[in-house]
């Protein structure tokens, strides 16, 4: 694979990769890459939860593609591994326990 023009940073250009894409009504949606056309330097994007008839081709340097943002990941319950909350161990913490 050879890149003639530089694809945007932060997006993994491979089939199945997640990203956000802007549709013709200027709304951003979570999407996945369905196909890659290396000759024309473009990707076929599928808007998740939409019919495949809405799939669109974008040049891979298009400003209408961006990495999937954390807000979208949280909304869908797909936090990236490095962003998972780390359990906190409290030392000398006071606990209030109630029982009969």
**CATH (domain of 27):** 2.30.30.140
Identify whether 47 is part of a domain. Answer: yes
Mean pLDDT, the chain, integer: 77
Distance CA(95)–CA(82), nearest Å, equals 30
Q: 41: burial class by Cβ within 10 Å (0-12, 13-18, 19+)?
A: middle
For the stretch 22-64, pLDDT in tens is 988 899 999 999 999 999 999 999 999 899 999 999 998 899 9
Q: Which domain holds residue 33?
A: 17-71
Identify whether 97 is part of a domain. Answer: no
Identify whether 90 is part of a domain. Answer: no
- The reported pLDDT for the residue numbered 3 is 52
Identify whether 95 is part of a domain. Answer: no
Q: How many domains does the chain have?
A: 1
Q: Which residues neighbour 95 within 8 Å (Cβ) at sequence distance 6 or greater? A: none
- The reported pLDDT for the residue numbered 32 is 94
Flag whether pLDDT at 76 surpasses 70.
no
Q: Which of 56, 53, 71 is nearest to 22 (CA)?
A: 56
Identify whether 82 is part of a domain. Answer: no
Q: Which of 71, 48, 59 is nearest to 11 (CA)?
A: 59
Identify whether 91 is part of a domain. Answer: no
Predicted confidence band of residue 21 (pLDDT cuts 50, 70, 90): very high
Q: What predicted TM-score, i.e. pTM, was given to this entire model?
A: 0.62
């Amino acid at each position: 694979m050879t890149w003639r023009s530089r694809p945007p940073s932060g997006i993994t250009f491979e089939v199945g990769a997640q990203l956000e894409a802007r549709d013709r009504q200027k709304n951003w949606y979570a999407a996945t890459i369905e196909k890659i056309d290396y000759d024309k330097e473009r990707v076929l994007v599928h808007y998740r939860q939409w019919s495949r008839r809405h799939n669109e081709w974008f040049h891979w340097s298009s400003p209408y593609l961006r990495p999937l943002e954390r807000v979208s990941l949280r909304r869908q319950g797909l936090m990236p591994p490095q962003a998972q909350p780390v359990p906190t161990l409290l030392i000398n913490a006071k606990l209030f326990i109630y029982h009969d």
